Structure 1
Amino acid sequence: MVDPCLAHEGQHVWSTERKKKMTLKVKNLVGGYSSIPVLKDISFEVPGSSLVGLIGLNGAGKSTTINHIIGLLRPMKGSITLNGVSLQQDAAQYKKMIAYIPEIPVLYEELTLKEHIELTMMAYQLDKEQAWQKAERFLKVFRLDNKLDWFPINFSKGMKQKVMIVCALLPKVDLLLVDEPFLGLDPLATRDLLNLLDKEKQAGTAILMSTHVLSTAQEVCDSFVMIDEGQLLASGTLSDLQEQSHKPDASLSEIYLDMTDK
């Protein structure tokens, strides 16, 4: 489910001007889990109405980057702002603009699927009737609409991930963070998720999606942030990366492997 600490208060007015305004800015980020930094001076942006792929192999620093953005880790150096607001300046304002789909589903064993949805509605202070209409659409998409009374123990890994997705998409947020979303999802659910992410992007949401499934990232992402061993290798559109690597016809996978195999 969506972390209640990322509670969203009310609904945003999605004007064209606001879509242009929404931007996540990560500047000179140094951070990690101890005194030895995992991330080393990383900078990138995620504007509204865009899907940016955070690209890297296992252990490259993708989840560490996301944990800094959502506030689970504090930067050793550098800054992270969303629409000009940092977590340190205004934690409540910052957190209410974010929703998060983690790599590993986190559900409450004593709550049913219906109760997880209701908890998300309370955390984000959503209008119950409108939120349930939205939830019912998502539940049908992921074929969970007949499982509202099920407990997490009854769900497979993929079904738990679908619950996380449904809850994360209930509120209207400025930034959606998606960490390795395809793990455990079958091809049909992967397609459904990508369709929903595209709709969120079209509505103005800034989306940062970490993945090491580079073939899928190349198909759906507008631009990329490539990291390896906590360092920024390159960023930009596929054309930008092809130009930087001097390989005009190379795939995203070929570019990444070439940059890391040095």
Structure 2
Amino acid sequence: MTAVLMANIKEAGYSKEEPILKNIHFSIARGELVGLIGPNGAGKSSTIKSLLGIIDYFDGKIEMKDYAYIPERPIFYDGLTLWEHIHFLYSTLDVDEQIFYSQVNRLLQSFQMEEAAYRYPESFSKGMQQKAMILLAFLQRSSVYIIDEPFIGLDPKVTKTLLELIQREKDRGAAILMSTHVLDTAEKICDRFLLLSNGTLIAQGTLADIRRRSQLPNGSLFV
């Protein structure tokens, strides 16, 4: 399988003197969903910042094709409605206009945001903001998706819609890295896992691989 995201993080953090991450190496192939798992403070956010090139100190190499990022805390441009965000996104992409806006309408309907599209995202609830970020990300149809805690603030119906979108992008051949604390869902949908603890990668592989290496044949990500 062709890897479209390759990470070789020797060290990274907010200063060279006190690195948070050490010796984290992994790759993600086309059509693969990989869960980034670990307790608070394990280094998940720093790993994502390293991939995005927005961490203060980094020693290593990241190889990644075009990507879309869904942050844990939604970020929008002040003074732009959701429709204006969508129009701006279209102006940055080399895509067919009719196909793009057809997809816009399908996603707005799926997330029940047709009327909200004419409002300012800063006025949205947390759940609505999260839906808007998801919509904008999946409109990009990127080779790589980096998704940080996507299920926070989503009701079961929207979670189902998100999972369907993730599966669709996997089928298209996109690689997806998803950080989440919703471990029961992660166990069901992820192809492989990266387990972080204290800034290091302590295990990676399928759930079966991790069970075998830990000698816990019936173990789960909860323990």
Alignment TM-score, normalising by the size of structure 2: 0.94
Specify whether residues 81 and 119 from structure 1 end up closer, same or farther in structure 2 by C-alpha distance, changes over 3 A only. Answer: same
Identical counterparts, % of pairs = 43
Match of 2:108 in 1: 139
Q: Aligned to 2:158, what secondary structure does the other structure show?
A: helix
Tell me which of 168, 178, 189 is aligned to 1:209. 178
- For 2:14, the equivalent position in structure 1 comes to 33
1:187 to partner: Cα distance: 1.6
User: Which of the numbers 25, 29, 35 marks the counterpart of 1:43?
Assistant: 25
Partner of 1:61: 43
Structure 1: 4+ residue segments shifted above 4 A:
none
Number of residue pairs the alignment of both structures matches: 222
Residue identity opposite 1:247 in structure 2:
L
Query: What's the CA shift string for 1:138-195, capped at 9, x where partnerless?
Result: 1111110122211123310010111111110112211110011111111211111111
Shift in Å at residue 74 of structure 1? 6.0
- The correspondence of residues 16-165 of structure 1 with structure 2, limited to 5 A, is 20-35=1-16, 36-73=18-55, 76-82=58-64, 94=65, 97-165=66-134
Question: How many Å apart are 1:129 and its aligned residue?
Answer: 2.1
Partner of 1:13: none
Q: How does 1:190-229 map to 2 (within 5 A)?
A: 190-229=159-198
Q: Over aligned residues, Cα RMSD in angstroms?
A: 1.4
Query: What is the rounded CA distance, in whole Å, between the counterparts of 1:76 and 1:116 in structure 2?
Result: 31
Higher strand proportion, which one? Answer: 2
In the other structure, the counterpart of 1:260 is none
**Residues 216 and 29 (structure 1), Cα distance of their counterparts in 2 relative to 1, 3 Å cut:** farther
Contact 2:76 2:122 (8 Å CA) reproduced: no
Match of 2:212 in 1: 243
CA shift in 2, pair 1:182/1:29, >3 Å: farther
Aligned partner of residue 165 in structure 2, secondary structure: helix
Q: CA deviation at 1:23?
A: 2.3
User: Could you list the per-position Cα deviations for residues 70-118 of structure 1 after superposition, in whole angstroms to 9, with x for gaps in the alignment?
Assistant: 1212663221112xxxxxxxxxxx5xx1111011000123011100111
Distance 1:45 1:127, change over 3 A: same
* Alignment map for 1:169-188 (pairs within 5 Å): 169-188=138-157
Offset of residue 22 of structure 1: 4.0
* CA distance in structure 1 between the aligned counterparts of 2:4 and 2:57, rounded to whole angstroms: 19
Give the stretch that moved more between structures: 186-195 or 125-134.
125-134
Specify every segment of 5 or more residues in structure 1 that has no aligned partner in the other structure, as ranges: 1-19, 83-93, 255-262
Q: Is the 8 A contact 1:55 1:212 kept in 2?
A: yes
* Aligned AA (1:115): E
Q: Write the distance in 2 (CA, Å) between the matches of 1:72 and 1:126.
A: 27
Residue 24 of structure 1 deviates from its aligned partner by 1.0
Say whether the 8 Å CA contact 2:14–2:56 is kept in structure 1.
no
- Structure 2 CA distance, aligned partners of 1:127 and 1:71? 30
Distance 1:29 1:121, change over 3 A: farther
d(CA) in 1 for partners of 2:53, 2:12: 12
